[in-house]
Amino acid sequence: MEKLTLQDIKDIATYEKERPEFQKHIIALKKRRRVSVGDKVTLLFENRETVRSQIQEMCRVERIVHDDKIQEEIDVYNGLIPEPNHLAATVFVEIIQMDQIRAILDSLIGLDEHVSIQIGKEKIPAIFEPGRSRDDRIAAVQYVSFKFSPEQIELLKDESVDLYLTTDHPNYKEQAVVSSDIRREFVSDFAI
């Protein structure tokens, strides 16, 4: 999937005019790319459009108008665009009970070694971005990628083969069936 360039980012005035329709498009797109694994972990699978929306919103909110500063945002967010033969996702640990945030996050330390995609009998472990967890702490938002072999990509295309997202952490064992719509989004990522 191609990385974003300065030419892909609209200036603030142009973006403001297009924003209502673009936001509708992005909300629908993200809905097709979001998978909840149990009640605490959600993965939003990123692509070029979801990342572009984040950059556009960052420039809008922070009133970034100079090309060099916009390029800095692009350089940061381009890391979320999947590399060839990869899917990439933002992992959210969703905690509603504000008074239990630390306790719940502490109970999930090591989650970065326990998230995977399961296609039939094939298990593809998540590769977490370094520096987001430590032996004594885990971040509530993390970035991951999943590296697929050519054979695994072919399995992904075959909708008769079961597809799951799993967590097998000792304190959080959950599995989510990946819908056909989301699966097609994944397949489209590999076609780019």
Residues counted in the chain: 192
**Domain-wise residue ranges, the chain:** 6-191
Average pLDDT over residues 164-187: 95
Average pLDDT over residues 16-43: 96
Token duo for residue 34: 């979001």
Q: What is the pLDDT of residues 134-146, one digit of tens each?
A: 677 788 889 999 9
- pLDDT of the residue at 30: 95
- pLDDT of the residue at 59: 95
The rounded percent of the chain whose pLDDT value lies above 70 is 97
Rounded CA gap, 180 and 122, in Å? Answer: 18
Average pLDDT over residues 77-95: 92
Helix (H, G, I), strand (E, B) or coil at 166: strand
Report yes or no on whether pTM surpasses 0.85.
yes
The rounded percent of the chain whose pLDDT value lies above 90 is 79
Average pLDDT over residues 93-97: 88
